[in-house]
Amino acid sequence: MKLVSIVVPTFQEDPATLDVLAEHLRGIDRYEFEILVVDDSDAAHKAAIDDWIRRSPITARRIDGRRRGKGDAIREGARAARGAFVLTMDADLPVPLSHVEQFLELLDEGGYDVVVGERPMTRNTSEPLRYVLSRALFVAQWLVVFGERRFEDTQCGFKGFRAELLRDLAERQVVRGGMYDIEYLSIALRRGARVARVSVVPSPEVRPSKIRVLRALVDDPIAIARIKWRLVTRAYDR
């Protein structure tokens, strides 16, 4: 039976959603699972995660993050993962968990190397600033990084990878923040990976978004320019 690693970056999260995740995974018979919680929280929240791990019905580990951003947390999880396949997901479970089985089928039987969840383009319309930021990011990744309309949504917090590819991406990664998704996808395509895109309906938000919009307006363009430079100079090929 193949092992699947679930990497969940957390920062001051209520572990209640991890209960939901673990219960869903218990119902999947074809695979074994491990949950890797890469945690950047304070001591109290770390203690809550440790308590959850002790009672989890699924094998779980906490990895201390380095408080360098979500991308850095994903990298640490990728390095520690022992599964043949790795799913990365946000702690608020951004899409229905039925997609776990769908993504694994595409990776295992479909022969894909990466599976990307893509949310509707009309999301965030009730929050004008987030909507404008997401549309600007879409245009930037289209024009600057990929050179074509390759993806409708690179930032959905639910993706799947073959483990050997993910480890390779993590070792080449330089972006520590939220633009790591674009970096991973651009390197994967450059290396000839087969990428599947799956339309997903976002789950209702259970807590306020932790995206710091003003900081993203500064950091994200720098990260995108950095990715583009490394693509042009073939730094990712070394």
Q: How many CB atoms lie within 10 A of CB 169?
A: 24
The number of domains in the chain is 1
Nearest C-alpha neighbor of 139 from the set 125, 124, 128, 149: 149
Q: Is 117 helix (H, G, I), strand (E, B) or coil?
A: strand
Residue 199 pairs in a beta bridge with 118
Residue 229 pLDDT greater than 90, yes or no = yes
CATH number reported for the structural domain that contains residue 114 in this entry: 3.90.550.10
Range in 16-30, 55-69, 206-220 the model is least confident about: 206-220
DSSP type of residue 95: S
Would you state the pLDDT for residue 219?
86
Residue 18 pLDDT greater than 80, yes or no = yes
Would you state the pLDDT for residue 238?
84
> Is residue 13 within 8 Å of 91, Cβ to Cβ?
yes
Mean pLDDT over residues 200-219, rounded? 70
Mean pLDDT over residues 54-62, rounded? 96
Mean pLDDT over residues 114-124, rounded? 83
Chain centroid to CA 199: 16
Residue 173 pLDDT greater than 60, yes or no = yes
Predicted confidence (pLDDT) per residue in 177-200, tens digit: 999 999 999 999 999 999 999 999
Predicted confidence (pLDDT) per residue in 125-172, tens digit: 556 666 677 777 888 888 899 988 899 899 899 999 999 999 999 999
Residue 107 pLDDT greater than 90, yes or no = yes
Two structure tokens written together for 175: 């972006």
- Backbone region of residue 92 per phi and psi (left: phi > 0; alpha: psi in -120 to 50; beta: other values): alpha
Q: Is 3 helix (H, G, I), strand (E, B) or coil?
A: strand
pLDDT tier at 123 (50, 70, 90 boundaries)?
Answer: low
Q: Which residue did the predictor score with more confidence, 237 or 120?
A: 237
Q: Are strands 114-118 and 59-64 parallel, antiparallel or unpaired?
A: unpaired
HSE at residue 12, side-chain half, CA atoms within 13 A, is 6
Residue 206 pLDDT greater than 90, yes or no = no
Predicted confidence (pLDDT) per residue in 66-106, tens digit: 999 999 999 999 999 999 999 999 999 999 999 999 999 99
Q: The domain containing residue 190 runs over which residues?
A: 2-237
Contacts of 108 (CB under 8 A, 6+ apart): 2, 85
> CA–CA separation, 52 vs 42, rounded Å?
16
Contacts of 121 (CB under 8 A, 6+ apart): 138, 152, 153
Predicted confidence (pLDDT) per residue in 19-42, tens digit: 999 999 999 999 999 999 999 999
